[in-house]
């Protein structure tokens, strides 16, 4: 669950919560996401939105969610709401974690950006010290160009490659290399699309 004061709206609180699902009376891994807006003074429910698409959680588990209320002004009249999903795996030999960004149009109850990986950590390690590691952290910028009346967005990612070597008592980092990646996401009339050459790397 995550909650925050609704941006630019007095006395309204936005709540997002994800709950496990059942099938044939058995729990399943995926989560149902719901958004609520509540009057923070009277506690009266203002709106409710059950998101149709389930949030996946399997070998790489959904660990937490939080609201991202940065000014995602995707059109002249619409400010989108961000939700960040935090995932992690259980493997000690191949640790993996990722943060995934979705954007929602809560005026019309629809998702307009789905599953953009904005942070990642992955490694191959002997579980003691020796490892090859990739880390990345991206930001999303709103551009002034428009496609289908929505502003284009640019992802700017900084990627770090490095190695760890030694043992538990003497573990050192070596061979750090930093690179950058940029690409533009455009609205197709339904959602923002990650360009095809980058989908394997950035679409969760």
What pLDDT is stored for residue 26 in this prediction? 67
Res 11 pLDDT > 70: yes
Edge-to-edge strand order for the sheet containing 150-167? 61-73, 79-88, 96-105, 110-125, 131-147, 150-167, 170-187, 192-193
65-84 pLDDT, tens digit each: 999 999 999 999 999 999 99
89-141 pLDDT, tens digit each: 999 999 999 999 999 999 999 999 999 999 999 999 999 999 999 999 999 99
Give phi and psi for 202, each to the nearest 5.
-120, -10
Domain ranges of the chain: 2-197
Give CA–CA dist 191/198, Å, rounded.
16
pTM, rounded to two decimals: 0.93
Of 91, 168, 88, 92, the residue nearest 130 (C-alpha): 168
What pLDDT is stored for residue 10 in this prediction? 85
CB 156 within 8 A of CB 184: no
């Amino acid at each position: 669950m995550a909650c925050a004061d609704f941006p630019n709206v007095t006395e309204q609180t936005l709540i997002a919560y994800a709950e496990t699902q059942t099938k044939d009376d058995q729990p399943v891994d995926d989560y149902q996401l719901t958004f609520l807006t509540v009057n923070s003074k009277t506690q009266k429910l203002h709106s409710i939105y059950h998101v149709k698409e389930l949030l996946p959680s399997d070998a790489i588990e959904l660990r937490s969610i939080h609201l991202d209320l940065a000014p995602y002004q995707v059109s002249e009249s619409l400010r989108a709401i961000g939700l960040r999903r935090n995932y992690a795996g259980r493997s000690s030999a191949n640790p993996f974690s990722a943060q995934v960004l979705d954007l929602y149009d809560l005026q019309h109850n629809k998702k307009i950006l789905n599953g953009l990986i904005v942070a990642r950590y992955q490694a191959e390690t002997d579980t003691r010290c020796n490892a090859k590691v990739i880390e990345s952290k991206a930001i999303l910028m709103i551009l002034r160009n428009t496609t289908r009346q929505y502003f284009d967005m640019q992802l700017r990612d900084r990627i770090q490659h490095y190695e760890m070597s030694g043992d538990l008592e003497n573990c050192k980092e070596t061979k750090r290399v930093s690179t950058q990646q940029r690409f533009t996401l455009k609205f197709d009339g339904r959602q923002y699309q990650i360009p095809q050459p980058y989908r394997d790397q950035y679409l969760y």
